[in-house]
Amino acid sequence: MTFGLVKHNNNSISAITSVGLTQGKMTLIKEQTASSSSSISFVDGTSSVVFDNTYPIYIFKFINIHTSQDNTIFQFNCSSDSGSNYNVTKTTTHFYAYHNEGGSDQFLTYAAASDLAQSTASQPLGIGLGSDNDQSLSGELSFFNPSDTSFVKHFFAKTNLSMYHEYNLNSYTGGYMNTTSAIDAIQFSMSSGNIDSGTIKLYGIKGS
């Protein structure tokens, strides 16, 4: 029995370094899975995280973020000192639509309790998260040009979650980190308790 030399584009397979495929421009930078985690942080230059001027656009995807404690807030904050302090000044907006499972209560409203005005506190991305086994939060946060030193740093997010009292909550958050210093780390947490489980993925988007 004989075997011919396997070739591709006239290279033996062991010598192939590229198959000529176009690389996608949305790059998965880092994926972290919560396991009773008090917080999840993405720090530029740490654990393979890139969060600098490599990409002009960053997107965090939240997949089934489950809280250990009922009626909590999923939130985030930023750091300009590589994660030593998560306390960047920000001004934000927050509004949401809700609807209960009973079909009797629905509304679209601005949420003044969840916005911030020149505050260093963490920014809510979803409130009233339920801790039932089947309840969680999903959504995404877009963050632009974090290492820029000329402009404030804009971001916006949309999430959907199952509330502790059996409501669907669709939330929209926008704002800016009011600093011209580079942002080099971001941290996600619950207002109380832990992130029991769930995945946060960080993607970078850039041109060629």
Partner 1 sequence: MSIVKLNNRSVKDVTAFGSISSLGSLSHIATQTASSSASISFTSGIDSTYKEYIFYFVNLHPSSGSKFQFQGDTGTNTNYNQTITSTSFNAYHDEGDSYTAVEYRTDADQAQGTSFNDLTNYLVVDQSDSSLTGFLHIFNPSSTTFVKHFISTTQIMNGVSNFYSINNFHAGYFNTTTALTRFQFKFASGNIDSGQILLFGLN
Site residues for partner 1 per CB under 8 A: 3-4, 6, 8, 19, 21-26, 56-57, 91-95, 108-110, 112, 115-118, 142, 144-145, 148, 150-152, 154-156, 172-176, 178, 180, 205-208
Instruction: Quote the tokens at residue 196.
Output: 């029991």
DSSP result, 140-188:
EEEEE-TT-SSS-EEEEEEEEEEBTTSEEEEEEEEEEE--SSPP-EEEE
Q: Please report how close the Cβ of residue 122 comes to partner 1 at its closest, in angstroms.
A: 16
**CA–CA distance, 34 with 194 (Å, rounded to integer):** 9
- Identity of the residue, 17 or 109, whose beta carbon is nearer to partner 1 in the bound complex: 109
> What is the nearest approach in angstroms of partner 1 to the Cβ of residue 22?
4
Chain position carrying tokens 């502790």: 164
Closest listed residue to residue 188, CA positions, set 163, 165, 155 = 155
Collapse the DSSP code of 71 into the 3-class scheme (helix H, G, I; strand E, B; otherwise coil) and give the result.
Answer: coil
Q: How far is the CB of 34 from partner 1 (least distance, A)?
A: 26
In this complex, which beta carbon is closest to partner 1, that of residue 131 or of residue 145?
145
Smallest distance, partner 1 to C-beta of residue 71, A: 23
Q: Which is nearer to partner 1, 32 or 114 (CB)?
A: 114
Q: In the complex, what is the shortest distance from the CB of residue 198 to partner 1, in angstroms, rounded to a whole number?
A: 23
Query: Which residue number, 95 or 167, has a Cβ lying nearer to partner 1?
Result: 95
Residues 6+ apart with CB under 8 A from 14: none
Considering the complex, state which of residue 130 and residue 139 has its C-beta at the smaller distance from partner 1: 139
> From CA 193, how far away is CA 34, in angstroms rounded?
13
